[in-house]
Chain A
Amino acid sequence: MSLNIVVLAKQVPDTRNVGKDAMTPEGTVNRAALPAIFNPEDLNALEQALRLKEQNPGSTVSILTMGPPRATEVIREGLYRGADCGYLLTDRAFAGADTLATSYALSMAIKKIGKVDIVIGGRQAIDGDTAQVGPQVAQKLDLNQVTYVEEVLSCADGKITVRRHIDGGIETVEAPLPIVLTVNGSADPCRPRNAKLVMKYKRAMAPMEMPENLPYADEYKRKPYLTVTQWGAADVDADLNQCGLAGSPTKVKAVQNIVFKAKESKRLGSSDSEVEGLVQELLASHTIG
């Protein structure tokens, strides 16, 4: 059966290679100092989507991303790996969105895309680490959701079977479509960029990215796939009060550097009773368990 699959992808600062200038003096992320990359777990999700497409001929994989015009780069990266098209959700009204406003905007865009069988994204983004957007999108679209997915095992007759990570092991679950899935970083890595697709899509751009004297302008007339679909708040019929800063109840009160000091450490002996005591203490403080 052919599936309509939407991959949620985010462009994030590469927080895995943090240098000393990664934070501004004000305590916010210094985006200029960090390279912008495809959120790693979203790449794991893309791989699962591309495999579903291979197993179900006629399926489409589209990349949906919200961000400034340069976020189109993640759409291109998706196209280079086998996605069919992309949607850039970009508008000043979306700026400053927390997870609630982000999931609202994404869910409005998914409604606009139309009948979708599978929405799939990474478990969380490395800049916020909230793991909230996937589940909130499911809630807003009133769809089933399976989180912490390791692998999609099969998809047939309107049902999908996935292996998911749980505490202390894995479980295999079956669920009806349509569905929202979030994928773990421990799932198989995404395939590399494909040479022919890179050559085909290397000039793909969203209208807002295009300079005034667009190089190879004729190519865009001949090849409609080089123009990436770009939507603002009005295009997806979004309520401005639920978008961006206006729609974001989360407020960052303060950001502080945590420096561990020796006085907070504890020295333990190696006896079982002392280790057991520590475990009880950590359970009591909900640090673990």
Chain B
Amino acid sequence: MANNYTDHPELRFELNHPLMKRIVELKERNFRDKDSFDYAPVDFDDAMDSYDRVLDIVGEIGATTIADNAEGVDLEGPHHVGDRVEYASGTKRNLDAMVKAGMNGMTMPRKYDGLNFPITPYTMCAEIVAATDAGFGNIWSLQDCIETLYEFGNEDQHSRFIPRVCAGETMSMDLTEPDAGSDLQSVMLKATYSEEEGCWLLNGVKRFITNGDADIHLVLARSEEGTTDGRGLSMFIYDKRQGGVNVRRIENKLGIHGSPTCELVYKNAHAELCGERKLGLIKYVMALMNGARLGIAAQSVGISQGAYNEGLAYAKDRQQFGKAIINFPAVYDMLALMKAKLDAGRALLYQCARYVDIYKALDDIARERKLDADERKEQKLYAKLADSLTPLAKGMNSEYANQNTYDGIQILGGSGFMMDYPIQRYYRDARITSIYEGTTQLQVVAAIRYVTNGSYLAQMRDFEAQPCSAEMEPLKARVKAMADKFEACTAHVKDAKDQEMHDICARHLVEMAADCIMLHLLIYNASQAPELFAKSARVYANFAESEIEKHNNFIMNMTPDQLADYRQDVPAEDAE
């Protein structure tokens, strides 16, 4: 039987990374749940076996129920009934299967009915779901908003909301407004405390809210009257059972049709504060977005896998000039590059997920007891590593998903352009990944500080010191030379001492860093499992090397006086 997990052994390889030992140790804390919960693991192997089995279930649902419903969901889409959203019929069946399989609130503690899973296997589930229906992936993956409620909400809120999410209630994060997209500091939705009602009242409009008719919403709103920036914003929990939020319209989109994108009207909606006032944007939304970005990275990898599968199957089957087209260099070149980008991007995604796991588990321990000095050091180290890799994982994988689906259609040729094959759906679904939860351009803004402060370079130099297989040694030498170029480019941009030149070179520098780090990860993977990764490592090395050269040429030839050629002439009345 088809299975989105076991059909792709690269996933199981990523699951069995040595860092999982530490992650399980931190997550299970001496396996203290083993006597109180019949599904808790008793040791490390037991925990790993459970992750593997649960991934197998999701893999099966992905390849059966969700795959069967994908086309129907794409055509039907959600319905706007009254002021509410009614999911497409296939979406309801998908959700029902995932809820019955117990795949909600996966990362939450067992005392709230969660599975206490690390982020890493949870993220794999998100990838597996997205590999057959990226739009459904949104509805299901928004469960990770509960992480933020768990991190910043109080115990009373935990006990009221977390079990509901574990039972299958859905979530949304209501951030964007008509005049607050990338610039969330401009959020205007008004929160006023009502002494009479004993709760906060929300009034205003939100736009482009994914799964906007969810059961439980996290809402960014302006609680401090008279403020205009991010420091006047707080985070609220809105429970649909309270009423007061209506869906004014569902957007008609290019892709992810199954995922309802809503315009919401808040009329005295009763809400409760999550965490402290004024920290809504500067602390909580940042945490929320980091989780969401990892989710979009996983969705992107899933889409890349789906596109590769479609392209590969067609190329094997399609005969032209008397042979299957997969035998033509022009075709297998595309497939090899798709696979290399997929493997490289996935390696980056799970490296990042593991880093997130370690620091978040330590954060959680810190809620119970004081961390010792070593643990604090470990927490800081992994938090920094995770923060540095998150924008790379999101930015690169979403761009790769777009490139891979583009190539996927190219392999199918005219058939790929027809609506009859699923590849067109992957192509349309991929397009949003480099836009939402922060565009690629904003991922560069988040990542560039790790270029300038030397963090990425230090990670590369660390990788260089790690042993690799003899087979991978030549690649190691090449990636070292690439890192040297990255270092020189960084110095060149710094030396120019020009902010605008720095900004225009930023994307190039960030991509150089990502290319080097991904190649290092593939070298590691190929040293452990050459049968799975050696080809991709070599193909990716060729690709990344030419990318580095391209960026190197751009940066080294760039001078501040050329910026005038790039600036667009703006008529005086439009200029600020």
A: residues with CB less than 8 A from B are 191-200, 202, 216, 219, 223
Asked, given contacts A199-B50, A202-B49, A202-B50, whether A193 binds B42 with beta carbons under 8 Å apart, the answer is no
Contact, CB under 8 Å: A196 / B102: yes
Residues on the B chain within 8 Å of A193, using CB: 57, 60, 101
B97 on interface, CB distance cutoff 8 Å: yes
User: When chains A and B are docked, how far (Å) is the Cα of A195 from the Cα of B61?
Assistant: 12
Q: Please give 5 more A-B residue pairs, beta carbons under 8 A apart, in addition to A199-B40, A199-B50, A202-B49.
A: A192-B97, A193-B101, A194-B57, A195-B115, A216-B46
Contact, CB under 8 Å: A198 / B54: yes
Residues on the B chain within 8 Å of A223, using CB: 38
Residues on the B chain within 8 Å of A191, using CB: 97, 100-101
Other-chain contact of B57, A198, A216, A219 (Cβ < 8 Å) = A198
Residues on the B chain within 8 Å of A195, using CB: 39, 54, 57, 101-103, 106, 115
Residues on the A chain within 8 Å of B32, using CB: none
A225 to chain B, nearest CB (A): 8
In chain B, positions 85-127 with a C-beta closer than 8 Å to chain A are 97, 100-103, 106, 115
Contact, CB under 8 Å: A192 / B50: no
In the complex, 29 of the A-B residue pairs with CB atoms within 8 angstroms, ordered by the A residue number, are: A191-B97, A191-B100, A192-B57, A192-B60, A192-B61, A192-B65, A192-B100, A192-B101, A193-B57, A193-B60, A194-B101, A195-B54, A195-B57, A195-B102, A195-B103, A196-B39, A197-B102, A198-B53, A199-B39, A199-B50, A199-B53, A199-B115, A200-B38, A200-B39, A202-B49, A216-B42, A216-B46, A219-B42, A223-B38
- Measured CB to CB, the nearest residue on chain A to B117 is A195
Q: Mark B21-58, 1 if CB is under 8 A from A, else 0.
A: 00000000000000000111110001001100110010
- Measured CB to CB, the nearest residue on chain A to B103 is A195
B222 to chain A, nearest CB (A): 40
User: When chains A and B are docked, how far (Å) is the Cα of A202 from the Cα of B57?
Assistant: 13
A17 to chain B, nearest CB (A): 8
Residues on the B chain within 8 Å of A219, using CB: 42
User: When chains A and B are docked, how far (Å) is the Cα of A200 from the Cα of B42?
Assistant: 11
A226 to chain B, nearest CB (A): 10
Contact, CB under 8 Å: B38 / A202: no
A85 to chain B, nearest CB (A): 14
- Measured CB to CB, the nearest residue on chain A to B113 is A196
Residues on the A chain within 8 Å of B65, using CB: 192
- Measured CB to CB, the nearest residue on chain A to B47 is A199
User: When chains A and B are docked, how far (Å) is the Cα of A193 from the Cα of B42?
Assistant: 21
Contact, CB under 8 Å: B54 / A199: yes
A13 to chain B, nearest CB (A): 14
- Measured CB to CB, the nearest residue on chain B to A225 is B38
Residue among A192, A197, A216, A219 with the most chain B CB within 10 A? A192
Residues on the B chain within 8 Å of A200, using CB: 38-39
Residues on the A chain within 8 Å of B61, using CB: 192
User: When chains A and B are docked, how far (Å) is the Cα of A195 from the Cα of B110?
Assistant: 13
- Measured CB to CB, the nearest residue on chain B to A17 is B1
User: When chains A and B are docked, how far (Å) is the Cα of A104 from the Cα of B180?
Assistant: 72
Residues on the A chain within 8 Å of B60, using CB: 192-193
